[in-house]
Amino acid sequence: MSEGTRIKFSPALKPLIEKIPKTDIHVHLDGCVRLTTLIEIAQAEKIMLPSYTVDGLNELVFKDNYENLEEYLKTFGYSCAVMQKPEYLERIAYEMAQDNQSEGVRYMEVRFAPQLHINESMDMKTVLKHVNLGLERAQKEHNDQDAVKQGQEPPFFYGIITSALRSFGPYSDYYTKFIDVHSYSDRKTLFGLCSLELAHGAVRVRDDLGIPIVAFDLAGAEAGNPAKDHWQAFQFAHKNFLAKTVHAGEAYGPSSIFQAITDLHADRIGHGFYLFDSTKVDDPDITDKEKYVEELAEYIAERRVTIEVCLTSNLQTNPGLVTLKDHSFKEMMAHELSTTICTDNRTVSKTTMSKEIMLALENFELDARQLKNMIVYGFKRAFFPDNYSRKRLYVRQCIDYYEQIVRGTELEA
């Protein structure tokens, strides 16, 4: 296919998309629990669910569309409830990796908030250890296949990202106790302290156990919870060589993205949906909002701050986004930003990596070169849990495999 010619979308492309090597570098563990597993654990632990059938949960909890981000986030209460024992964390992580491997994902970065799972039977080290055990088991099983061992296919690898929350209530035993212990702290101080404690824990567990904790993240509702409140935590992560990714511009404006980059040293931005929306620039000192947005986009482009784009998730949580054709991904591509497609939450958003890429092909005028770059950025901008030389070799192997698969098809760049 000649460069610049739009890929003609067809459902027949799906098997090819499923086969190409892919990454998912923005995906939440607690948003990817198999519904059959959720139901099984809930019944065993006598946890109340609105329904104990897959169809019932899809109708009542995991909907096709949500009123806003806040309603979307409420679904995690059900998944987190079945993730309160070591064996359940290990199983859910293992199954999540298997689901990704089955559709050609060869590298993934699993993010979650360990503090949601700390209780009387699990400390932070135990939580992280058992999530890693599940992912590690899936990795070993996949990489023990003959095609991988013989170098015919690239191996599967993963990293773990620890997520701090912009704000919280008594969401878990840990958060309840943290609130009680710091009863004289104001909200902003409380949230910042909790993030700092997580950063200390992530670095310690990484160093003590050798678990591939590759980055630190900030998640949760942006409105009223600015990134700068978590500056100390990210500064600690920065000084201890943890990479940084921040949910920003998901449900708030460009100022949130600016804070993530300048105050928190973000290497990547989760979502960035409102990057180009000048009407959401809320700083009264900025008079030329359009110029501000353009300069911010240029800054991001020049420094290759990668945007983790989650199409289905944004469609579900932003009522104003009626069709994906109006998604800001179109402008990101026009500005030649470093972007890669991600799922966000496979269960909550009822999606897969292959489905997200198919949606991108269906709704945006992508040519083969753009598609390849989008896939390759996922590998290149990954927080790979090994040295740079080995990462380069792995990325090259994945690119070669991609080119081998698409050779002679309209996806060949």
pLDDT attached to residue 2: 40
pLDDT attached to residue 73: 82
Structure tokens at 13: 């492309």
Instruction: Give the mean pLDDT of 167-190.
Output: 95
Residue type, 102: S
Phi, psi of 164 (to 5 degrees): -90, 155
pLDDT at 71 over 70: yes
Instruction: For 348-363, write each residue's pLDDT tens digit.
Output: 999 999 999 999 999 9
3-state secondary structure of 160: strand
Instruction: For 220-235, write each residue's pLDDT tens digit.
Output: 989 899 999 999 999 9
pLDDT attached to residue 66: 84
Q: 3 falls in which pLDDT band (50, 70, 90)?
A: low
3-state secondary structure of 216: strand
pLDDT attached to residue 5: 84
Residue holding tokens 């519904």? 35
Instruction: Collect all residues with Cβ–Cβ distance below 8 Å to 252 and sequence separation of at least 6.
Output: 222, 223, 274, 280
Instruction: Give the mean pLDDT of 44-51.
Output: 96
Instruction: For 277-317, write each residue's pLDDT tens digit.
Output: 999 998 889 999 999 999 999 999 999 999 999 999 999 98
CATH architecture observed for domain 11-406: Alpha-Beta Barrel (3.20)
Q: What is the pTM of this model?
A: 0.96
Residues in the chain: 413
Which sequence spans correspond to the domains of the chain?
Answer: 11-406
Instruction: Give the mean pLDDT of 81-99.
Output: 98
| β pairing state of 243-248 and 268-271 | parallel
pLDDT attached to residue 67: 81
pLDDT at 4 over 80: no
pLDDT at 406 over 50: yes
User: DSSP string of 267-310?
Assistant: SEEEE-TTTT-GGG---TT---HHHHHHHHHHHHHHTT-EEEE-
Residue holding tokens 């949601």? 116
Residue type, 251: A
Instruction: Give the mean pLDDT of 50-58.
Output: 96
